[in-house]
Copies of this chain bind each other. A is one copy, B any other.
Amino acid sequence: MTSQSPEIPGPEIPGSQFSGRRVDFPGQRLGFGADQPLRLDSGAELAPFTIAYQTYGTLNAAKSNAILICHALTGDQFVAERHPITGKPGWWEIMVGAGKPIDTDRFFVICSNVIGSCLGSTGPSDINPGTGKPYGLGFPVITIGDMVRAQARLIDHLGIAQLFAVIGGSMGGMQVLQWAAAYPERVFAAMPIACAARHSAQNIAFHEVGRQAITADPEWRGGEYLAQGTSPARGLAVARMAAHITYLSEAALHRKFGRNLQDRARVAYGFDADFQVESYLRHQGSIFVDRFDANSYLYITRAMDYFDLAAEHDGQLARAFSNTRTRFCLVSFTSDWLFPTSESRNVVHALNACAANVSFVEIDSDKGHDAFLLEEPEFSAVMRGFLDGCAWHRGIR
């Protein structure tokens, strides 16, 4: 899978530099200068700023076949190609590619790194032009709305009036809902997966634990760790471990690990990783710190916590979608306890209340929240079927 784009890359931007090291990422950049600020929900403005993105497939002449994929909390734009740091396959290669449900032989797929992240789009690890040092906590707090507003600038730049589809899971699904609410005329079809129209108290609580773990690490240095040459790796690893549990179901953990011991016949009566599940979690924590910036984790979790689409519409979620002509397909997974089916149902009820074109599928899976990233044949079939149907309505061959 190679990256293709009809566009000239934006200005050359140095790579993100989290974990105290500088990485020059491949891919495309779109830069906006000091005179083209991004207006943020907080009232602040971000300028200059850069959007890093990847594209796959070819935009047709009518510019009617573009699909925007929105990534999750720690995701990135490398949706269908090797991750430049980990060397692992793209995070959704199961779903995106030639002949795959999101078929790059047919659709032009765009995925951009969200504002606030650390894979090339402007975030707290980038240099604050006002100080010449990394932003750290000087970066403005951003929202899901801000992420989407930045994406819209990219879509403008690509000359696309209307996206054929906006698709995403978890925080990506929040962005899909935000797109449909903020730019209804620009979204022909929307697929919000394993998400919610607002972040729950329990989810805010888990995020707060992660943030506390990071900020409790003395190497975090009040957010100035890049300038000071330290790394809050242990705090960030703990944050990731706690979050990782929420991405899996109890059943998946039981099936994968149960109480199996790690490379030993008996418990060792100590604090080493006796159990496979401990070893697995420690591994998840340790590999995460090599690919993600601690401050970005703070900012993006905060954006998710703040998401509450109904609150922006007088507490009536249906008003977020008044007169929408977008075709919706919501997907949830039975064992997802982070974004349970009830959350998707709330969105479906709101869409029904404004007579929207909406379908809803709850997929039977024991894989928990992560199911949307994993091999789930029924989910793939739903994706393919929904896109086929919408393509027919949109006149895409």
A75 close to chain B: CB less than 8 A: no
Chain A residues proximal to chain B, CB less than 8 Å = 41-44, 137, 140-141, 198-202, 204-206, 208-209, 211-213, 215-218, 234-235, 237-238, 241-242, 245, 248, 250, 253-254, 256-259, 267, 269-271, 273-275, 277-278, 281-282, 285, 298, 302, 305-306, 308, 311, 337, 340
Cβ contact of A267, chosen from B242, B306, B340, cutoff 8 A: B306
Closest approach, in angstroms, between the C-beta of A381 and any C-beta of chain B? 30
In the complex, are the beta carbons of A202 and B141 less than 8 A apart? no
In the complex, are the beta carbons of B201 and A258 less than 8 A apart? yes
Complex CA–CA separation, A208 to B215 (angstroms): 19
Q: Which residue of chain B has the shortest Cβ distance to A235 in the bound complex?
A: B216
Complex CA–CA separation, A277 to B206 (angstroms): 10
Closest approach, in angstroms, between the C-beta of A136 and any C-beta of chain B? 12
In the complex, are the beta carbons of B209 and A253 less than 8 A apart? no
In the complex, are the beta carbons of A253 and B200 less than 8 A apart? yes
Complex CA–CA separation, A271 to B271 (angstroms): 33
Cβ contact of A259, chosen from B245, B250, B308, cutoff 8 A: B308
Complex CA–CA separation, A276 to B8 (angstroms): 47
List of B residues within 8 angstroms of A234 by Cβ: 212, 216
Complex CA–CA separation, A206 to B42 (angstroms): 35
Q: A44, A201, A215, A216: which has the most chain B beta carbons within 10 Å?
A: A201
In the complex, are the beta carbons of B141 and A270 less than 8 A apart? yes
Complex CA–CA separation, A122 to B275 (angstroms): 27
Known: A202-B245, A271-B298; 17 extra A-B contacts, CB below 8 A, are A41-B269, A141-B271, A200-B250, A201-B254, A201-B275, A201-B277, A202-B250, A205-B253, A208-B273, A208-B278, A209-B281, A212-B234, A212-B241, A212-B282, A216-B235, A259-B308, A274-B305
List of B residues within 8 angstroms of A206 by Cβ: 242, 245
List of B residues within 8 angstroms of A340 by Cβ: 250
Closest approach, in angstroms, between the C-beta of A199 and any C-beta of chain B? 8
List of B residues within 8 angstroms of A235 by Cβ: 216
Cβ contact of A278, chosen from B205, B238, B277, B311, cutoff 8 A: B205
Q: A216-B234, A269-B140 are in contact. Are A242 and B209 (CB under 8 A)?
A: yes
Q: Which residue of chain B has the shortest Cβ distance to A248 in the bound complex?
A: B202
List of B residues within 8 angstroms of A202 by Cβ: 245, 248, 250, 253-254
Complex CA–CA separation, A277 to B242 (angstroms): 17
| CB-CB nearest 6 A-B residue pairs | A216-B234, A42-B269, A141-B269, A201-B253, A208-B278, A202-B250
Q: Which residue of chain B has the shortest Cβ distance to A243 in the bound complex?
A: B209
List of B residues within 8 angstroms of A237 by Cβ: 212, 216
